[in-house]
Structure 1
């Protein structure tokens, strides 16, 4: 019996190790991964161009290193938590995504069946492919905005998303400070928005309407990640100027999103586009001068960067939210039932006897 148990445990450990190895290789070596070595090198190049001041004298490597990886990254509890969450996300992201119930392919197939026979508009690939690329990019951006909006508005979801906002200092690694449940919900919502869009495209143009991709990743989504998304949690105050800064979200916009000032709550919820923030009234324009902001969540948590707060406490708080909601629903149902009974008795008294 013990030998059988040992074999099972060994098998599970080997499966996890294989999954981690595949996750790491796919993350850093797949050309379509936003965290591939090539994508990270491009993001680093953009970062250096923004950090290095425009002057003739060369910048010392030590200065550049401090700009890229400030000392607070490892010296602060917040920075260490970011690092652990980032590494954990790299190792276990594939497992979390595997829990996504909603598949974009299944949603797309369902939409196609619902709409009936395809219109199959006679559009050459050089027209349909760019249209599909832009449409699915917008579907991704809307799914990101919707997930983010719900995570800030629905108490149950906020419990898990709060882990990300508990960061008291921002760095390039803060992007990985995400609770697994937050990741699962995100991918389910993306499955809905992108699957629906894909189904509509297939209905209009036929199954040939596929986006321009690099190793399966939409080139616009990949480009936005390399140029903007990777840098949004940096300490740079980059607004993209008064023109582009109204339509694209840079690091300054996202610092406002993380601000502990109530004026900035629930603002700048988009990924790289400000389109849906502007459309739904959640946009906050970043000023050209760097603002003095404080980050974190003021909820009385004494150790916001520990394992309990980052992984366990969200489940406890979410369970309490569900229990409170159930009690409110029960009280409402009881009150309504009592009101119905009282109304019935009143009507009985008011009705004359047939005798």
Structure 2
């Protein structure tokens, strides 16, 4: 009976994604994506007609494509698997924060708070949270691309042939577990640093519960990152921030674009590693793993093919 209650709870909670500012498909973020699509449409069509705009935005060939339908199914099933399987064993922020703060005390000694001015503390802590979150996202994303065992799981996300805002949830449960653990680590490190330098009273600038930087970034078209809408920010901004168009390049099936634009919000990490590509440098693209890889067209392949690929690689390694 308890399992059935958990299943019902996980399914019934799905609409909450639309009212949670920490979720990518939060209603305000979706609305901003629609509004930002208007200038893109006007440039392409040289005019505005509402029926044609809606047909462009909600293109049936995209939203009803088998790849998109798989995204919707993975969104629901992964939510259930999260509640039943890996959520109870994911890393938690509190012990990481305490351990890191204690380590700093051991290495450098205990110090009094460096300031008691609340505005300064909140400003610095908000920046630390954002920077550590973005950096750890980049590092994990880089590992998912460069480590073959992890790439087999990340390929599920890259196998999307078309993209909608729901493609953000197209992932293998193992990858989702890694990202959840990453979040615990990044937040734990941020809180540990904050506790050591400022004491236990910590807070961040937020909008509806989301870090203000995350809120602004999502408001600037984060849902267009996984879409057919080419929303470029121009070379100058794209040297600092990853635009939706740049992330679409990341999903290109052209080998020249593989492992590029790995960053989430900030482009600095890609600039450091030499993986940054600006949208002005790229022409038309198609989505997918590669032009010769069929991807993961079914639920069976999405969940089990990564394990099969891992096993095949292991057998090949033993032979060699």
**Superposition TM-score, scaled by structure 2 size:** 0.87
Q: Which residue in the other structure is 2:16 paired with?
A: 26
**Residue 102 of structure 1, aligned match among 91, 98, 117:** 91
CA distance in 1, matches of 2:84, 2:42: 39
Report how far residue 136 of structure 1 moved: 0.8
* Contact 2:36/2:221, CA 8 A, preserved across alignment: no
CA distance in 2, matches of 1:317, 1:190: 27
| 1:30-45 to 2 correspondences below 5 Å | 30-45=20-35
For each residue in 1:188-208, what CA deviation from the matched residue of structure 2 results, as whole angstroms up to 9, or x when unmatched?
122223321221121111122
Report how far residue 262 of structure 1 moved: 1.6
1:180 equivalenced with 2:173 (yes/no): yes
* Contact 2:254/2:290, CA 8 A, preserved across alignment: no
Q: Which residue in the other structure is 1:77 paired with?
A: 66
Look at both structures and tell me which one has the larger radius of gyration over its CA atoms: 1
Report how far residue 53 of structure 1 moved: 4.2
**Superposition TM-score, scaled by structure 1 size:** 0.79
* Contact 2:164/2:227, CA 8 A, preserved across alignment: yes
Report how far residue 216 of structure 1 moved: 3.8
CA distance in 2, matches of 1:235, 1:197: 35
Partner of 2:203: helix, strand, or coil? coil
For each residue in 1:287-308, what CA deviation from the matched residue of structure 2 results, as whole angstroms up to 9, or x when unmatched?
17x6122221238554631112
CA distance in 1, matches of 2:312, 2:166: 31
For each residue in 1:107-147, what CA deviation from the matched residue of structure 2 results, as whole angstroms up to 9, or x when unmatched?
11111111223531124111111111111111111111111
Partner of 1:122: helix, strand, or coil? coil
CA distance in 1, matches of 2:33, 2:63: 22
CA distance in 2, matches of 1:271, 1:151: 14
Gap change, CA 1:146 and 1:304, over 3 Å in 2: same
**Residue 3 of structure 2, aligned match among 12, 17, 25:** 12
Q: Which residue in the other structure is 1:353 paired with?
A: none
For each residue in 1:65-119, what CA deviation from the matched residue of structure 2 results, as whole angstroms up to 9, or x when unmatched?
2222212224532232233334445665555761553222221111111122353
Gap change, CA 1:54 and 1:265, over 3 Å in 2: closer
Please list every run of 5 or more consecutive structure 2 residues that lacks an aligned counterpart in the other structure: none
Would you say how many aligned residue pairs link Structure 1 and Structure 2? 316
| 1:56-75 to 2 correspondences below 5 Å | 59-75=48-64
Gap change, CA 1:315 and 1:271, over 3 Å in 2: same
